Amino acid sequence: MTSQHPFALRIRSTLASLNGTVGLRARHLTTGRELGHNEHDIFPSASTFKVPLLYALHRLADDGEIDLSRRVTIESHHRVPGSGILQNLDLGLAPTIRDLAELMIIVSDNQATDMLLGIVGLDRLATVLKELNLAQTVVPFGCRGIFCASTGMEPTDPAATYEALVEAMHTGRRDLDSVAYADDSRNITSTPADMANLLAQIENGYGLAPGSRTAVIETLKHQKYNSVIPLHLPEGTEVAHKTGSLKGIRNDVGIVYAPNGPYVIALMSKRLTDEVDGARRLAEVSRLVWEELVEDA
């Protein structure tokens, strides 16, 4: 797509005056039509990294290495701040691994995420990413690692407790030059192209048993935060997606089930000076993609 293509011009117009960088990759899985804007740029993934973790979890379950029905007792060392509800519940609760996966996606629960990351393992996740050809997607640590980096704490320091992290966050102590916001392999990062590729492989069932493919997509459809990709789409449109946000970052990646067939879309951003405005523009870009791939197809 050239810079003078009508869609490219509409994207530039929509993003005009936005302080920050936006990336987009979309591909219609029936027609093969593709759209892009900074699609190979590297962006901090924020919570969208939970999608490849969800995929890896089900892939390992298919291989018999993980039992999704196994219950995991929540203990004090599991607590992670930020999004989610598990940190606010009583200790001793024993959700299944499947329950943790649901919470990780639909309310972006950070504690559930890090518990699952501990079960899958960073090395096994990296192996799955390599097999999927997601060369620009890197997950060197989990959610607790993000908060430690952003508040200047060492993850191995006994002083970096849940309570200390919460206090640092509440007092606004954030280092925007830290690894937590970097767009390189020191951080949890990806590209819109990689994320769209992953979503296409999920929709196509690559490497997953039919039941696992369905489970992954259904979990993504249960997403509770719908202020970007689905916001301006026609009422009733099914979207299986995952959001991600940090200071200066708003992301949303998913599969849109349009009347003329599904398409994958990955919207990522970085260095936003106004996250509210950034999310609003991304929602408008999502609508432009729908118009291009569905209404004008």
- Model confidence over 166-186: pLDDT tens digits? 999 888 777 888 999 999 999
Query: Percent of the chain, pLDDT > 70?
Result: 98
Domains of the chain, each with CATH number or no CATH: 6-295 (3.40.710.10)
Q: CA dihedral in degrees (268, 20, 282, 37; nearest 10)?
A: -60
What is the identity of the amino acid at 241?
H
Rounded to the nearest 5 degrees, what angle is found at the Cα of 226, between the Cα atoms of 221 and 230? 80
pLDDT of residue 3 exceeding 80 = no
pLDDT of residue 113 exceeding 80 = yes
DSSP string, 176-198: TTSGGG-SSTTSSEE-HHHHHHH
- pLDDT at res. 31: 95
Structure tokens at 125: 């996740």
- Give the tens place of pLDDT for each residue, 94-108: 999 999 999 999 999
The residue that leads in pLDDT, 89 or 1, is 89
pTM: 0.95
Q: CA dihedral in degrees (177, 180, 185, 190; nearest 10)?
A: -120
pLDDT of residue 208 exceeding 90 = yes
CA distances from 26 to 84, 89, 116, 264, 275 (A): 29, 38, 29, 5, 22
pLDDT of residue 2 exceeding 80 = no
pLDDT of residue 221 exceeding 90 = yes
- pLDDT at res. 296: 80
CA distance 151 to 169: 7
- Give the tens place of pLDDT for each residue, 240-281: 999 999 999 999 999 999 999 999 999 999 999 999 999 999
